[in-house]
């Protein structure tokens, strides 16, 4: 077992982990932050995306031991300080960017990472950035729309064709 100390959503935590413990397991099972979802466990689906030192990573494809000393942000850390939804989260709600909601934590974390580097992405750029985030319900249209809206760009009021 290895002791790791990291900052998760602004709080410092220390845990003992096995070598094989994944960051996603540490978050979900040791820290009870179950908003980070494990969809495929094969690095494909992106439901487990979190930010490590400000960058989007698939937490099912990183060992907890390697997050020692890192700053990690999960979907639980995305809301505003007063508990209200962040701009991106509110846009997903407003534009119905989800159906079953399973992929949504990863979508929101990827969207936040995209907008940090590219504050006004085009639709093409959004779709390209979401290559590693799979949604099996929505067909992506409303997710893309929500991210466009969250970036302050006009989106059509009607549902996507």
Residues at the contact surface with other proteins, assessed by CB under 8 A: 2, 18-20, 22, 41-43, 46, 49, 52, 55-58, 61-63, 65-66, 68, 110, 113-114, 129, 131-133
* CA dihedral (103, 141, 156, 151) positive or negative: positive
Closest listed residue to residue 140, CA positions, set 105, 103, 94, 91: 103
Pick the closer one to other proteins by CB: 85 or 134: 134
Q: How far is the CB of 158 from other proteins (least distance, A)?
A: 29
Return the number of other C-beta atoms located less than 10 Å from residue 126's C-beta: 22
Q: Residue 41: helix, strand or coil by DSSP?
A: coil
We find the least distance from the C-beta atom of residue 116 to other proteins, in angstroms, to be 11
Q: For other proteins, give the closer residue by CB, 8 or 23.
A: 23
Which is closer to other proteins, CB of 41 or CB of 94?
41
Q: Say how far apart CA 18 and CA 102 lie, in whole Å.
A: 27
Min CB(89)–other proteins separation in Å: 19
């Amino acid at each position: 077992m290895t002791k790791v100390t990291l900052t998760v959503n602004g709080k410092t935590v220390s845990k003992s982990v096995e070598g094989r413990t994944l960051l996603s397991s540490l978050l979900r099972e040791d820290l009870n932050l179950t908003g980070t979802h494990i969809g495929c466990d094969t690095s494909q689906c992106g439901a487990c995306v979190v930010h490590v030192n400000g960058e989007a990573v698939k937490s099912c494809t990183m060992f907890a031991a390697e997050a020692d000393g890192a700053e990690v942000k999960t979907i639980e850390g995305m809301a505003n300080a007063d508990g209200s939804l962040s701009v991106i989260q509110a846009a997903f709600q407003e534009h119905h960017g989800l159906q079953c909601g399973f992929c949504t934590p990863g979508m929101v974390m990827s969207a936040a990472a995209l907008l940090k580097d590219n504050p006004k992405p085009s639709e093409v750029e959004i779709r390209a950035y979401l290559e590693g985030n799979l949604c099996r319900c929505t067909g992506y249209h409303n997710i893309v729309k929500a991210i466009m809206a969250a970036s302050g760009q006009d989106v059509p009021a009607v549902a996507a064709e």
